[in-house]
Amino acid sequence: MASKPKSEAKTTDPRARIVDALMELAAEHRFEDISIRDICKRADVLLADFRDAFPSKGAVLAGLSRRIDRAVLSQDSDELSDESPRERLFDILMRRLEAMAPYKQGLREAAGWLRREPMAALAMNQVVKTSMRFMLEAAAIELDGAGASAVKLQGLALAWSRVLNVWLDDDDPGLSKTMAELDRELTRGERAVAAVDRANDFAWPFRALAQAAFDARRRSRERPRRARKGDEDRGGADEYGAAGDASLA
């Protein structure tokens, strides 16, 4: 059976074709020079299709991140169950790099654009934090406490960006430099997480004391309101009773 032509083998999903097109163009051109029309032409979609799928070029990068998330999360992680949390996260993040490998050249230019565009980098940081939260889930690592979790996620996102910077310039098929950097970042992250946990444990009594003081102030403010309401209710009853007596006279 003859193989299908490349054009026919393309996915029919406009979102996927747009992501592929941007990565292809980013491997060939400076990111700022790529227009939405260029992406639509390469993806063979209408401008209306692009508008339905994404609000901007930067959002297409977020679409790629979700694609990578899915590629990693679709893999069976049961084989990692006997590993330590650190080893599991190491393997999960290496799977992520493996899934990103086909887009490496385009990602190199996209990373340069993000360094040149602080607002875009800030938006992408939120995307990366979401991805890292799911990577932790895949590694069966729980995040405790809202405030501490936010700090830990941001720390992992920053560590991941440093690993990516090494990976983008690592042409060794074995990714020795990248693996060494990932190992260093995870070691550094373990120390940082331990410090956050210690600070969280140290601050807990003070947060509890502050919450108790807040609750006491709230109750003291509510007490006069309840007293006034009780007086009003009793006054209303007296007036109603007096009116009833008059009607019977």
pLDDT band for position 47 (50/70/90)? very high
Inside any domain, residue 177:
yes
Distance CA 137, CA 195 (A): 22
CA-wise closest residue to 15 among 58, 63, 83, 48: 63
Distance CA 238, CA 244 (A): 10
Supply the pLDDT for residue 17: 97
pLDDT band for position 239 (50/70/90)? very low
Distance CA 25, CA 38 (A): 8
> Per residue in 49-97, pLDDT tens?
999 999 999 999 999 999 999 999 999 888 888 888 899 999 999 999 9
CA-wise closest residue to 134 among 76, 180, 93, 103: 93
244's tokens = 């009833």
State whether residue 187 is helix, strand or coil. helix
Domain hosting 37: range is 12-203
Number of domains in the chain: 1
96's tokens = 């992520």
Q: Which has the higher per-residue pLDDT, 49 or 238?
A: 49
> Per residue in 166-176, pLDDT tens?
999 999 999 99
Inside any domain, residue 225:
no
Q: Which has the higher per-residue pLDDT, 145 or 40?
A: 40
Task: Tell the burial category of 214 from Cβ atoms under 10 Å away from its Cβ (0-12, 13-18, 19+).
Answer: exposed
Distance CA 31, CA 111 (A): 9
Instruction: Calculate the alpha carbon distances from 37 to 18, 44, 61 in Å.
Output: 11, 10, 16
pLDDT band for position 8 (50/70/90)? very low
> Per residue in 209-234, pLDDT tens?
445 555 666 666 666 666 565 555 55
Inside any domain, residue 233:
no
Q: Which of 8-22, 127-141, 216-230 has the highest mean pLDDT?
A: 127-141
pLDDT band for position 142 (50/70/90)? confident
Phi and psi (nearest 5°) for 201? -65, -40
Distance CA 123, CA 126 (A): 6
Supply the pLDDT for residue 242: 38
Supply the pLDDT for residue 130: 95
Inside any domain, residue 131:
yes
Inside any domain, residue 218:
no
Task: Tell the burial category of 125 from Cβ atoms under 10 Å away from its Cβ (0-12, 13-18, 19+).
Answer: middle
Inside any domain, residue 7:
no
Inside any domain, residue 49:
yes
CATH label of the domain that carries residue 106: 1.10.357.10
Phi and psi (nearest 5°) for 152? -65, -40
pLDDT band for position 191 (50/70/90)? confident
Inside any domain, residue 237:
no
Q: Which has the higher per-residue pLDDT, 77 or 125?
A: 125
Supply the pLDDT for residue 232: 55
State whether residue 16 is helix, strand or coil. helix
Distance CA 185, CA 2 (A): 48
Supply the pLDDT for residue 95: 96
Q: What is the mean pLDDT of the chain?
A: 81
Interval 130-143 mean pLDDT: 91
Distance CA 90, CA 84 (A): 10
Whether 22 and 28 have beta carbons less than 8 Å apart is answered as no
Supply the pLDDT for residue 249: 37
